[in-house]
Amino acid sequence: MEPRPRSFYVLSAFFAVFILFLYGPTITIGILSFQGEGGGLTFPMRGVSLYWFYDLFEQQAVGDIWGSFRRSFVLGLMVMLVTVVVSVMGGLAFRRKFPGSNILFYLIITSLVIPSILISLGVGLLFSQSGLDVHWSTSGFGAQLTWTLPFGLLIMFAVFNRFDKSYEEAARDLGASPWQTLRHVVLPIIAPSLIGVALFGFTLSYDEFARTLLTSGSYNTLPLEIYGMTTNVTSPVLYALGTLTTVFSFIIIGVFLCIALIANRRRARQSSDAGKGHI
């Protein structure tokens, strides 16, 4: 077996350091969240227990943490749904060139390069000056869409850019209407990509801080509540919350990956059945 070059070990060591830098803080928080009752915010640990997780579930211990979690979860679902629908519609619209399409594309991308805090300030001022309530479900919802929609649209642009139009032509030749073609041909083929857009929409909304800071009104979302806790909570209960939210994020990602896997298998099975029927 040919020996590996020295560069392989150098690059491997660099990659290991990068992984440690990326996940080290999360791992540290996870470890410190299992401190004993007398534990603090730093090492060395004082015992090992689940005390701070029990403390977390006491409503008085951490203020409105569960209310903020529910708001973030509902807001994430709202943003996810709108992001998927608008991204598909935008992807379909941009399949053909139309006057002003290039300008519209760059306007969409501009939202990603403008500082998030300015977006939050602008949306908040727009609602307040228009006499509308600044609330997480209205202004906060709109501010987060300026963050999630460009990602969803970029994904859909890439998907439809390599989409084989012969599938649609075959459906139309068989008498399918445009709606039937979309529902029974296009959407099943791009289903895994739709799941990816949905995952982007939910996770980006669930974790968003800057664009929600000045648009959530009187009620905090989970990132805002956690930020507020850093100024008045000086116990590992904050780490316990971080551990639980990290686990919840991984569960959400796992659910979406399972759905994507099921969709891929179903599409492969349908393609195989269609091929056998053609033969």
Percentage of the chain lying above the pLDDT 70 cut: 94
Question: Residue 70: inside a domain, yes or no?
Answer: yes
Largest Cα–Cα separation, the chain: 74
Model confidence pLDDT, tens digit, residues 62-105: 567 888 889 999 999 999 999 999 999 999 998 888 888 888 88
Question: Residue 108: inside a domain, yes or no?
Answer: yes
Question: Residue 112: inside a domain, yes or no?
Answer: yes
Question: Residue 218: inside a domain, yes or no?
Answer: yes
Model confidence pLDDT, tens digit, residues 42-64: 788 888 888 888 888 775 555 67
pLDDT-based confidence at 201, cuts 50/70/90? very high
Q: Residue 160 is part of a domain; what is its CATH number?
A: 1.10.3720.10
Question: Residue 71: inside a domain, yes or no?
Answer: yes
pLDDT-based confidence at 277, cuts 50/70/90? very low
What is the per-residue pLDDT for 62? 56
Model confidence pLDDT, tens digit, residues 124-139: 999 999 988 899 999 9
Question: Domain tally for the chain?
Answer: 1
Span 7-18, average pLDDT: 92
Question: Residue 37: inside a domain, yes or no?
Answer: no
Rounded distance between C-alpha atoms, residue 222 and residue 228, angstroms: 10
Question: Residue 34: inside a domain, yes or no?
Answer: no
What is the per-residue pLDDT for 18? 95
Q: What is the pTM of this model?
A: 0.83
Question: Residue 276: inside a domain, yes or no?
Answer: no
Domain that holds residue 78: 66-232
